Amino acid sequence: GDSVTQMEGPVTLSEEAFLTINCTYTATGYPSLFWYVQYPGEGLQLLLKATKADDKGSNKGFEATYRKETTSFHLEKGSVQVSDSAVYFCARSGGSYIPTFGRGTSLIVHP
């Protein structure tokens, strides 16, 4: 079945460091790809998405490019802030109504 694999955390960085969180997905069909963010004590919210190969999603300084050849959708940010500390989930659209989520990667940013 469909699956999404993302790097295990926690990822610990200093403020202003470069961030990459890796995400790969199974290549069945033509999925849309998503990154969600969950701040402490809250539900998930959409961070960015891409609907076809080579699309780049971007929001709040975060970017991810839909790479069909490597089945990847890695999340990047050039300079993280303490306020970016959260759990990040990669997801792909699936059959019927159901998306598939990765297990989440915790990001901790120190001042």
Partner 1 sequence: DVKVTQSSRYLVKRTGEKVFLECVQDMDHENMFWYRQDPGLGLRLIYFSYDVKMKEKGDIPEGYSVSREKKERFSLILESASTNQTSMYLCAISPSPDAAYEQYFGPGTRLTVT
The CB-of-81 to partner 1 minimum distance in angstroms stands at 23
Token representation of residue 1 = 């079945």
Find the length of the chain.
111
The CB-of-90 to partner 1 minimum distance in angstroms stands at 10
The CB-of-71 to partner 1 minimum distance in angstroms stands at 17
66 binds partner 1 (CB under 8 A): no
10 binds partner 1 (CB under 8 A): no
Among 24, 49, 86, 107, binds partner 1 (CB under 8 A): 49
Cis peptide, bond prior to residue 10, ω within 30 of zero:
yes
Burial of 50 (C-beta count, 10 Å sphere; 0-12/13-18/19+): buried
For the beta carbon of residue 96, count every other beta carbon within 10 angstroms: 5
Task: Candidates 18-26, 41-49, 64-72, 77-85: pick the segment binding partner 1 (CB under 8 A).
Answer: 41-49
Q: How far is the C-alpha of 12 from the C-alpha of 91, rounded, in Å?
A: 22
- Residues lying near partner 1 in the complex (CB under 8 A) are found at 31-32, 34, 36, 41-46, 49, 51, 89, 93-99, 101-104
